[in-house]
Chain A
């Protein structure tokens, strides 16, 4: 990787938003402590009919799709040969890393007997028929890969003689560690980074293979619930639909993330890049709709679209959002407008995420007498985890070179200047 493409965002770490996020994070962590002390029922509204609530439906099933920015960008850059968008990968991978690590953390909160989780590493206990087994191993492996992909940016700072003068965290570290220890860290960083840079591409590709596997398996999980999941969503194509869904969510979230972080950090917008990247989305959603509608037609159940009451509403809402977003992106004129890009990406992420909610919660009916709506505490745990994610993102981009460097030196791809 060419490290000069990225730069550390210079800015204060402690800001009002930092403090609000910190408060929310701590609330979430306190509720998690309560959950471990008193049991899952004390905090959540989950029941034997709805054994999975928003911690799985949002944090895992939807959260990992929203964290697919790194996956989508890696496909786009390395596989579809758009290497000149290379400078956007680090921020994408960083959000993916937080998204996946938090999904993993969330699972540990949700598991009833997390102390037995080591059984995933005991081959005699492996149950290879289980899509859950596949998801668990792949998510663990992918989180590791994402951390490895982030390492070079950290090593790049750590290998310097002076870490930083303007960043509080690095300053603090520098003060706490003895001179000798700091130097040895720098020495190791200098040693590891060139080697890591050389093999990094193999991790990047692993970072494409693993999500392909587990994102489709997230759909396979629900194949066992034919009598509970509404036929609008229950189909043998669930794995394929989940896969396409995570890719278009991944591209959309890249658009959103780029716009939001440029706005928040007062950087020039990457409109040109985004207009090209978002051009892929309509084609993906076209295939997605083709599979959904073709499958319903083949099963002769198209009438369900309008005759299923609450389920029809959410099915139409999900498809309406995705269709609106991708229809807008079909036109280059819209793709070049920052506002329309933002709106269409919002619609796509909302619709795509709603699809996953529909499959995991809304279209899931365990039978008469059961109902589920998340409790406030359950909701606050999720909010707390999202806050940790955003906090971590802020800290990381202010500490390590992750955001694209703004070129003023005649870089060939430098159309950014016109925006400035």
Chain B
């Protein structure tokens, strides 16, 4: 009894394993292409003077639509300053200072990278995170969000933030002022107020050209790399900096988007829902046959449990 059943058992496992293996070797059905006609931003850490005008403009403009409020500092009883220390449930963008020595330091601005193949969109079970095919803007809709925070787990940049201190919380992240400043002025609030041209809003194509010409015109000032050109399948928020990017909190990533990899596996297993249905059908067949065989055997041997036989299983 033991050996055949064990073999059958392994067969079933092997079946599952084979389908997964197929998933690993199969190529992505829809190969992801970078679309340079979408819009994005370029942040130039070399030009940034750290005035934080972008931060205050962002909060002023998006306060109501984004469900933001001001962060009070501990010493500030009257709430005179907005004193956030990181991206958080009230903050879509932040300027930070990286300081290595008195001579070597850099500002850095963090906000949503608007990936070409965003993990958060792939993660969201109810389509609360969406990427606009035309503009490339990754937007969040709190009216459908269930608050599972899978987008936070999935984001390589830790961009989506959650309002941990509220009973009615939401995810907070940059949407390129899609519902606010962009509709009125055609640009984002942060790019609009930046006094030094450190933040530019434009089509990705033009941003790339601009970034590369800045590197070319003063090669000693810049790292010879536009962060986001290829990282994680391409980002629409590009970076230029004087210091290595990982030092200012931008992780070293491969050119492949995680979302492509995981979706290939999911799609292979669940294509047309055939595999689950086939599995169910096969298992039903086996189970019914086993059940029949069992009760037949019992009847034949004639010494089965009395009540089992009486009720049987028809």
List chain A positions with a Cβ less than 8 A from chain B. 1-5, 36-42, 46-49, 51-52, 75-76, 78-84, 107, 110-114, 116-117, 119-120, 122, 125-134, 136, 197-198, 201-202, 204-206, 208-209, 212-213, 216-217, 220-228, 236-237, 239-240, 243-244, 247, 276, 279-280, 283-284, 287, 291, 364, 366-367, 370, 407, 409-412
Is B307 located at the chain interface by the 8 A CB criterion? yes
| Residues on B with beta carbons closer than 8 Å to the beta carbon of A131 | 123, 262, 266
Tally the A-B contacts, defined by beta carbons under 8 Å.
253
| Cα distance, A322 to B298, chains bound together (Å) | 38
In the complex, the answer to whether A134 meets B147 with C-beta atoms within 8 Å is: no
Check B262–A79 contact: CB distance below 8 A. Answer: no
Bound Cα distance from A412 to B299, whole angstroms: 12
CB–CB A206/B8 < 8 A: no
Q: Which of these, A84, A216, A280, contacts B294 with CB under 8 Å?
A: A84
Question: Do A119 and B13 touch (CB < 8 A)?
Answer: no
Give the dominant DSSP class at B's interface.
helix
Shortest distance from the beta carbon of B251 to any chain A beta carbon, whole Å: 6
A56 CB → nearest B CB, Å:
9
Bound: A287/B20 CA distance, A: 14
Given known contacts A130-B150, A412-B305, A113 and B16 CB-to-CB distance under 8 angstroms? no
Kindly report which residue of chain B lies nearest to residue A4, judged by CB atoms. B307
Asked whether, in the complex, the Cβ of B305 is within 8 Å of the Cβ of A80, the reply is: no
Stretch at the interface among B45-53, B55-63, B72-80, B163-171: B163-171
Query: Which chain A residues border B305 with CB–CB below 8 Å?
Result: 2, 4-5, 407, 409, 411-412
Contact partners of A3 in chain B: CB under 8 A = 311
Q: Is the CB of B146 within 8 A of A114?
A: yes
CB <8 Å contact, A129 and B266: yes
> What 0/1 pattern do residues 244 to 266 of B give for CB contact below 8 A with A?
00000101011000110111011
Q: Which residues of B contact A (CB under 8 A)?
A: 1-2, 4-6, 8-10, 12-13, 16-17, 20, 23-24, 87-88, 119, 122-127, 142-150, 152-154, 156, 158, 160-170, 249, 251, 253-254, 258-259, 261-263, 265-267, 269-270, 276, 279-280, 283-284, 286-288, 290-291, 293-294, 298, 301, 303-308, 311-314
Of chain B, the residue at the smallest CB distance from A222 is B153
Verify B10–A227 contact, CB threshold 8 A. Answer: no
In the complex, 26 of the A-B residue pairs with CB atoms within 8 angstroms, ordered by the A residue number, are A4-B308, A4-B311, A5-B305, A40-B164, A48-B160, A79-B9, A81-B293, A83-B293, A112-B148, A113-B169, A117-B146, A125-B126, A130-B122, A130-B124, A133-B125, A206-B280, A212-B279, A213-B276, A216-B269, A223-B262, A227-B251, A236-B24, A240-B16, A247-B13, A364-B153, A412-B304
Judging by beta carbons under 8 Å apart, are B164 and A223 in contact? no
Residues A410 and B303 in contact, CB atoms below 8 Å apart: yes
Residues in B whose Cβ lies below 8 Å from that of A83 = 290-291, 293-294
Q: Which residues of A contact B160 (CB under 8 A)?
A: 48
A75 to B104, CA, bound (A): 63
- Contact, CB under 8 Å: A225 / B153: yes
Q: Find out whether the CB atom of A133 lies under 8 angstroms from the CB atom of B126.
A: yes
Residues of A within 8 A of B314 (CB): 198
Beta-carbon contact of B312 and A2 below 8 Å:
yes
Question: Is A227 a contact of B287 with CB atoms below 8 Å?
Answer: no
- Apart from A80-B9, A217-B266, list 9 A-B contacts with CB within 8 A: A2-B313, A110-B148, A113-B147, A129-B266, A130-B125, A131-B262, A240-B16, A284-B13, A412-B301
Chain B CB within 10 Å, residue with most, of A107, A222, A237, A240: A240
Which residue in chain A gives the minimum CB-CB distance to B287?
A78
**Within the assembled complex, what's the spacing in Å between the Cα atoms of A236 and B166?**
37
Determine the distance from Cα of A398 to Cα of B253 in the docked complex, in whole angstroms: 56
Highest count of chain A CB atoms <10 Å: which of B283, B312, B313: B283
How far does the alpha carbon of A405 sit from the alpha carbon of B313 in the complex, in Å?
18
B283 adjacent to A132 (CB under 8 Å) = no
Q: How far is the CA of A338 from the CA of B56 in the complex (A)?
A: 68
Cβ of A37 and Cβ of B283 under 8 Å apart? no
Q: Is the CB of A120 within 8 A of B311?
A: no
Residue of B169, B262, B269 with most partner-chain A CB within 10 A: B262
Residue picked from A2, A3, A48, A237, most chain B C-beta under 10 Å = A48
A39 and B166 CA atoms in complex are apart in Å by 5
**How many angstroms from the CA of A125 to the CA of B20 in the assembled complex?**
27
| Residues of chain A with a CB closer than 8 A to B124's CB | 127, 130, 132
Please, which residues of chain B bring their CB within 8 A of the CB of A48?
87-88, 152, 158, 160-162, 164
Find out whether the CB atom of B258 lies under 8 angstroms from the CB atom of A225: yes
B269 CB to closest chain A CB (Å) equals 8
Query: Residue on A with the closest CB to B120?
Result: A224
Output the nearest chain B residue to A224 by Cβ-Cβ distance.
B154
Is B126 touching A120 in the complex (CB atoms < 8 A)? yes
| Nearest opposing residue in chain B for A43, CB measure | B164
Name the B residues within 8 Å of A283 (CB-CB): 6, 9-10
A244: chain B residues within 8 A (beta carbon): 13
Cross-interface CB contact of A125 among B127, B251, B303, cutoff 8 Å: B127
Q: Judge whether A78 and B291 touch: CB under 8 Å.
A: yes
CB pair B303–A224 under 8 Å, yes or no, is no
Q: Collect the chain B residues with CB atoms within 8 Å of residue A197's CB.
A: 313
A198 to B298, CA, bound (A): 19
Which residues of chain B come closer than 8 Å to A75, judged between CB atoms? 9, 12
Q: Which one of B8, B162, B259, B303 has the highest number of Cβ atoms from chain A below 10 Å of its Cβ?
A: B162
Residues of chain B lying within 8 A (CB to CB) of residue A224: 119, 122-123, 153-154, 258-259, 262
| Chain B, Cβ-Cβ closest to A236 | B24
Closest A residue to B309 by beta carbon equals A2
Could you say which residues of chain A place their CB within 8 Å of the CB of B251?
227, 367
Closest to A235 in B: B24
- B125 touching A132, Cβ below 8 Å: yes
Chain A residue with Cβ nearest B311: A2
| B22 CB to nearest chain A CB (Å) | 11
State which of A81, A213, A247, A287 has its C-beta within 8 Å of the C-beta of B290. Answer: A81
Q: Tell me the bound Cα distance from A412 to B304 in angstroms.
A: 6
- Determine whether the beta carbon of B153 is less than 8 Å from that of A40: no
Known interface pairs A47-B164, A113-B146. Does A236 touch B265 (Cβ–Cβ under 8 Å)?
yes
Which of A112, A132, A228, A409 contacts B306, CB < 8 Å?
Answer: A409
Most A CB contacts (10 A, CB to CB) among B125, B127, B162, B284 go to B125
Pairwise interchain contact B266-A134, C-beta atoms closer than 8 A? yes
State whether A129 and B166 are in contact (beta carbons under 8 Å apart), knowing that A2-B312, A82-B1, A83-B290 are contacts in the complex: no
In the complex, are the beta carbons of A112 and B165 less than 8 A apart? Answer: no
Contact B169 A39 (CB under 8 A): yes
Cα distance A203–B221 in the bound complex, in angstroms = 67
Give the distance to chain B from A61, nearest Cβ to Cβ, in Å: 12
Report B-chain residues with C-beta under 8 Å of the C-beta of A201. Answer: 284, 287-288, 291
